[in-house]
Structure 1
Amino acid sequence: MEHNWAGNIEYRAREVARPRSVGALRELVADRDRVRALGSRHSFNDLADGPGTLVSLEELPDEIVVTGQQASVPAGVRYGVLAEFLQERRLALPNMASLPHISVAGAIATGTHGSGDGNGCLSTTVAGLELVTASGGLRTLWRGDPEFAGSVVALGALGVVTRVTLDVRPTFEVRQQVYVDVPWPEVIGDLAGVFASGYSVSVFTDWTGPVQVWVKSTAPVTLPFTPADGPVHMLPGESVAAVTEQGGVPGPWLDRLPHFRLGHKPSAGAELQSEYLVPRDSAEEALARMREMAPRIAPLLQITELRTVAADNLWLSPAGGRDVLGIHFTWKLDVPGVTGLLPDIEAALLPLGARPHWGKLFHTNEISKLYPRWPDFTELRTHHDPKAKFTNRYLDHLT
């Protein structure tokens, strides 16, 4: 049987298909009654699963085409592979997630993000989409089309994406400096200043002691904290060979913006993940509520990462309509313990306007209360997939 990356989800689909051409994919989708696209399997819930056919994009044509400041890429390409291709041509993506191992289509379908006050989620770089529809047709959407903002972060519910056109920019250098043993009051006392200090900033906390502040900047930055005297991993005991270069040494964007190197094991491996995106004006209250829950969170936790994401106009983006602070929990692989705690975390965060990351573990199904455009998205699904070919248990439970 097929499993997700963490091993906590066993896919129930009848078959996994690996078409080698868009034509073969179109025939397959037209022929099957239930289809879901399978990406890099980095979701921690059953978003990608379905009762029928899972379609892997790994064997579709892998040509990347650059035209001016845009790149047309296969949907299944991993960000790390795409980044190396662009860097060879002196080009860059505006931002990257913590892991370069994830696929482009999966990341944009779920609103996955990196960090930075001025950086939107990865989906905001999408300029165009090509996807196979329920009838087996081929549909193309471009930024500015009436349905575009509802079709980028779409959870695989509108079809199987085959290619994505992304905005790119000239290559640039980034330096990464890590500060250790930073007292929590010094972070929370200047939360806006800390996150404004670099191009991309992450704060790692276990909610009980000092924190680490990782600053990725395009120019030298000095914060009034203690810099690490060598490379560090955000998790005690994990190999520093897995993390990208630190120490403030300038280097290409693709070798600094992700936390982890493409050729190494991402994070700790045996884990679960949850994340909640909170409006920036509620960030301090949200963090205070999590600190109050520290005695319950810490025994289940590996680490929490705090990151900022700029607002966008995508209907189902967790950053849609507002700047947000992401509160990301990397849990121990304890499914009963984590799923038992999530309702209480959500009771503290959802009233503040938090939205869960689509690809992580969460408890609530009352999504329509969190997204003003949810009724419009439901209408879009009904129009393009009237027989619910692309639905699954995950989508059916959302109300």
Structure 2
Amino acid sequence: MTLSNWAGNTAFRASDVHHPSSLDELRRLVAGSARIRALGSGHSFNDVADTTGDLVVLDRMPDAVEIDRAAAQVRVPARTTYARLARQLDAHGLALANLASLPHISVAGSVATGTHGSGDAIPSLAAAVSSLDLVTADGSPLTLARGDADFPGAVVALGALGIVTSLTLDVVPAFEVRQYVREGLPVEALAHFDAIMAAGYSVSLFTDWRDTRVWLKRAGEQPELPADWYGTRPADGPRHPLPAMPAGPCTTQLGVPGPWHERLPHFRADFEPSGAGDELQSELILPREHAVAALRALFAIGERIRPVLHISEVRTVAADDLWLSPFHGRDSVGVHFTWIKDPEGVRPVLELVEETLAPFAPRPHWGKLFTRWPSCPERFRSLARRLDPEGKFANDFTRRLLGE
């Protein structure tokens, strides 16, 4: 049976797939392998996790979550999903500052690829990492913590430095969120983009580049929105991000208060978001100051985008200092595309989108489809050469990034 990613568009070429059950077993495996990579929950849409050597799945490793309330931190195994972690944190009155739209993804894989949620003041999921443990090329364990010189290069690292075994994340007190959907946002309202995106703790725009909805996730006491808020109307029932889909898999809406982990994701932890990964995804990350001009440029080519598009999502993300993060050094807006599962039909449209957004200095989401590669910081190249001099963790994806 061929092992593939969740979407089924990438078949892994590994010669062997291993499921170590202890750190010692993993260290021996890494030390004895010529080529090796780790696979998380398989939710990337490209070959970032692929290898022609050994593929490691950490699903049999110890899975204990360690909460340090005094330090406001939690240490989690790399294999842990955000859904599982969130439930445990909430039971202790704690929370993560944000979550991605899908809670089923693994912590290590999400962090390594720069995955994020939405919120003007909230950085990516990787920015919550305060330390991480990994197994390096000779099988040695290495811990890097915030403040260490190499730490900013090791968090969003695409698996190029070693196999991450655990991470320590910052946590905050648990909080409640109310979720609302507003429909019919006119294109002219983009002039008020900053005010719209600031109207909730986490705000997303869902659009097919003709019709647009605003999803607001509001925490704490906030005033009610006017009935005609920026030309929109409140949804009269629960909604799915795809207008034709039933809302059953989605988290509770209509302003009903609930715990952070049952509102911040768009999809419920006990549902898969769509059939069997019958989609492809891309996302380009732009400097926040270019948001309005970039969105207007995309609306102008909406007729070209729609035939191969399920839906797009627009989110805001605060800057971080992680070298390979798409949000490094700049507050950002992410423009996401959920495409139909037609690689040949999608590719020319993706290239058109990339060309349209090129004047706005885009960066790709590392776990999704793109055709234009950004330049790699020399300091990351140097770190990769130092920690993995023989290229044991390299694959086609990292070699393209590193220009090798």
Q: TM-score, normalised by structure 2?
A: 0.95
- Paired AA for residue 335 in structure 1: P
| Cα deviation digits, residues 128-169 of structure 1 (max 9, x gap) | 000000000000010000000011000000000000000011
Equivalences for residues 275-354 of structure 1 within 5 A: 275-354=283-362
Distance 2:90 2:51 in 1: 37
Give the structure 2 partner of residue 89 of structure 1.
92
Counterpart position of 1:255? 262
Instruction: Report the Cα offset of residue 49 of structure 1.
Output: 0.4
Task: For 1:55 and 1:113, locate their aligned partners in 2 and report how far apart those are by CA, in whole Å.
Answer: 24
2:186 pairs with 1:164: no
**Aligned residue for 2:108?**
105
- What is the SS of the residue equivalent to 2:307? helix
Number of equivalences: 392
What secondary structure is seen at the aligned counterpart in 2 of 1:397?
helix
1:280-310 deviation digits (Å, cap 9, x = unpaired): 1111111122112111100000000000000
Code of the residue aligned with 1:359 in structure 2: it is G
Give distance in 2, aligned partners of 1:124 and 1:357: 15
2:195 paired with 1:193: yes
* Cα pair 1:203 1:305 within 8 Å, conserved: yes
Structure 1: any 5+ residue segments left out of the alignment?
none
Letter in 2 for 1:292: A
What is aligned with 1:183? 186
1:41-98 deviations in Å (ceiling 9; x for gaps): 0000000001101110111100000112000000110000000010111110000000
Q: What's the CA shift for 1:267?
A: 4.3
Partner of 2:40: 39
Partner residue, 1:148: 151
Is contact 1:270-1:333 (8 Å) kept?
yes
Aligned to 2:143, what secondary structure does the other structure show?
strand
Asked if the contact 2:131–2:145 (Cα under 8 Å) also holds between the matched residues in 1, the reply is yes
Secondary structure in 2 matching 1:376: helix
Q: CA deviation at 1:345?
A: 1.5
Counterpart of 1:73 in structure 2 is 76
Give % identity.
51
Counterpart secondary structure, 1:189: helix
The AA in structure 2 aligned to 1:305 is: E
Q: How far, CA to CA, are the matches of 1:53 and 1:338 in structure 2?
A: 31
Kindly provide the CA deviation profile for residues 329-359 of structure 1, in whole angstroms up to 9, marking residues without a partner as x.
0000010011222222212213311101000
Q: Which residue of 1 aligns with 2:134?
A: 131
**2:397 alignment counterpart:** 394
Report SS of the residue matched to 2:195: helix
Contact kept, 8 Å, 2:191 with 2:292, in 1: the verdict is: no
Aligned to 1:206: 208
Please give the root-mean-square deviation of Cα atoms over the aligned residues, in Å. Answer: 1.0
Shift of 1:363: 0.2
The answer as to whether partners of 1:34 and 1:53 remain within 8 angstroms in 2 is yes
Structure 2: give runs of 5+ residues left out of the alignment. none
| TM-score (normalised: structure 1) | 0.96
Distance in 2 separating the partners of 1:105 and 1:55: 13
Alignment partners' CA distance in 2, 1:193 and 1:260: 25
Give 2:246's aligned residue.
239
Equivalent residues of 1:260, 1:267 under 8 A apart: no
- Report what 1:274 is aligned to: 282
The AA in structure 1 aligned to 2:39 is L
**Matching residue's letter, 1:316:** L
